[in-house]
Structure 1
Amino acid sequence: MTMTTETTPATGAAVQRRTFGPDGPDVSILSIGSWNTYSRLSFEAGVALVQHALELGIDTFDVAYYRDKPHTEVLFGRILEVVGAPRERYRIVEKTWFSSYPERSLAAQLDATLVRLGLNDVDVILSEHPRPGMDVQAIAEEVADLVVSGRARAWGGMDWSPEQLRIAYEHLSGLGLPTPQGVQLKYSIARQAVVEGSEFQTLHRDTGITLMASDTMEGGILAGKLAPERRIGIDTGNIREQIIALVPDLQEVAAGLGCSAAQLALAFCLSNDAVSTVLFGATRPEHLDDGVAALGLRRRLGAEHIRELLLPYAVSGHKNDAPYEHAVDLTADFIA
C-alpha cells in the first residue's frame, strides 16, 4: 500500500500533516466537520472552536451547503473573518451535489459557495457520487474543470465507489486533466468493509488516491452516546443496532488502554496509512483535545498494534452510501 506523506508542522502545533492524494494539498491529519456543528453553537462558541483548532494545528475544515442547514457556509465564513487567520493558514474542503443538477452546474454551485464563504477558492472540492445512469467520465471532467479554473486546488469523490474512481482516474489521466486525489468515505472501527476491502486498497496502491475518513464515531455512538438527539449519517447496510451492541466491549478496551472511547475510535482511523485526514464532529474545545489525545495514543501503541487490536470489531454488512433520494436543494421547511 502506498503511504501518505506525513510531516510535523514547523509551528510547534500538536497535529501532523499528510498530503491529500499523490499531488493534492497538505492537510492536517485531523479535520473538523460542519453538518450540525456551527448551526448548534452560538456564534462566539463557533469562533472559539475554530481558534482552538488552529492553535492545535487542526486547520482542515469540511464545509458544505446542506439542504437542512443552508446557512452553514455563511456562518463559517463569518467565523473565519472574525478569527482573522490568513488564507494560507487553513484548508477548506467543500462539496457539490446533484439535487439540482444539471439545471445548476457544478461550477455554478461552487461559485455560489464561494460567495457564501467569502473566499476566492477552496483547497479540495468533493463531488457527490454519480447517481445511477450518470456518465462517470463526463462528471469527472466537469469536476476536474473546477481545478483547472482555479476554483479548487484538488478534487475528490464523496462516497464514490473504487470502480468509479478508477474510471475517472484513467479517463482524466488520458486527457491530461486533474485526476481525483482522494475520496470521503464512512470509516470506523465498525464500518471497515469498504476501506479495508481489496478494491479500495488496490486503487490506493495503484493511483495514490487517499481517504478522508468520515462518520468516524457513528454520530457519537462509538464515543458512548447511544441515542444521539441530532440527525446522524445514513445507516447503510442497516447495521447500527449491531454497532450499538459493540460499544460496551469497546469501552472496556479503551479503559484498559487508559483512554476514552472517542479517542480509541479516532486512533483506529489514524492508524491507516491510506488516510489523509480523519474527519470528526466537534462542538467543544475538549472534543478537539480528544483528537490530539488520539494522536498520542497512536504514537504510544503504534499503528500496527491498534489495527491488530481493533480490526476484529468490524461489523459485516457495511457498504457505500446509497444515492440520496432528495431532488431539491432545500428541505420543505425552507421552501416558500
Structure 2
Amino acid sequence: MIGGGGGVLRRSSAAFLWALPALLAVSSLLFAYRLVLQAAAERAEQVLVSDPQVQSLLRRLSAAAAEPRRRPPLFRLPRAVSPADDDDDGGDDLRRRNGGFNASSPLHNAGMVRVRVRVREDDVPEGGLRLAYLMAVFSAGYAAATAAFLVLYSCAVGVVFLAVAEFLLGRRRRAAARTLYEGSRLGIRRVLGFVFLRWAARDAAAQLLYAAVLSEALSRRAMVKLLVRAKAVPFLQTAAPLTQWAGGDERGMRWFLLAWGLLERAAPPALGFVCWAAAAGGARRRGRAEVLREGLRRAAAMGERGLLLRQAEMLLCWNATRRVLAAAAGPAVAAAAQAVAEVFFLVVWLLCYLDQRAGDARHAFGSRHLEDSIRPFSH
C-alpha cells in the first residue's frame, strides 16, 4: 500500500528494518564523511590561528581595509604610540617601527616627513605567499568537501527511495550492495541538482547569519574560528560545531542558533520534498521548475503535522539528544546514532511525500507509478 494506513512512524520503522543493511551502510558513509569534515575544520582553525606569518599579514590587511573607511583630517600631528594602540592580537607593528609617525598622514604622503620603515626580512612577501598558498589549499579542500557531500547525499536519497519503493511494492529483499549501487545511480541521475539547491540555500543562510550575528566577535582569532565553523555548517545535520567553540561571544551564538533553528524547522522538509519529487521521476516528465513547485506545495500541505514531525526529528538529531548520548557513551557513538537517525527520517519524509501523492485526487500516485519510477534501476 503506497499511502496511508498504520501511521507513518510505524511504516517507516518496518521499511527501515526491511532494508537495514543498505541503510546502515548509508548511515556509516554519512558518519565517516562528517568525522573527516570535523577533523579538517579543526586542522584549518589550528593553522589559521597559530601561523605567525598569516596572523601578521591578517593584521596588515585588516588595517589597510579599515584605513579607507576613516577619512583623515586636513592636518594630523604625529603622536607617540602607546600600549593602548595595540589590538588583542599584537597591535599595529607598522606604527611601532616608524618611530611614532602615522605612515598614512598627509605630511608623510607629501614627502615633508620621511621616515625609514624597517620591516623584518621576508615578513610581508613570505607572509603573503604563505597566505595565498593556504587559501588555495583551503579553497581546493572546500571544493572537494562540497563535491563529496553533493554526491554522497544524492546517493543516500537514491538508495532510500529505491529501498522504500521495493518494500512498498512487496519485492524480495536484494543484496545490500545491489541496492547501494542501483540507488546511487538513481540519486546521481535524478537528484543531484536539487541536492545542490538544498546545500546552496543552507550555505547562503549560514553566511548571512554569520555576517549579521557573529561578525562582531571579540578577537580576530575568534572570527577566524567561527568563520571556519560556519562554512562547515551547511554540510551537517545541525549547527553543533559552532556550539563547541563560542569564542567568548555567547550572546551572538544564542542569536545565531535561534535564527538557524527557526530556518531549519521549515526549509529542510520543503527542499526534501523537492528531492523526493525528483527521485520519483518528476524531472524527466516535467521541467525542474515544476518539480520544485510540486515539492514546495506538498511540503506546505503537511501543515501542522509537518511541523510536529520536524520538531521530533530535531529533538532526536540535534544537540540535546547528542549531548546525552555523548555523556553516556562518548561523542563517536553519539555522532553514529545521529547519522542513523538522519537516514531513518529520510525514510519518514519519503513516506510522507508518498502519502501526499497517493491522497491527491488529481495526481493519483499508486503502485504502477512507483513501479515505473524505479524500473530503470531495479533489474
Q: Same fold (TM over 0.5)?
A: no
TM-score (norm 1): 0.26
TM-score (norm 2): 0.24
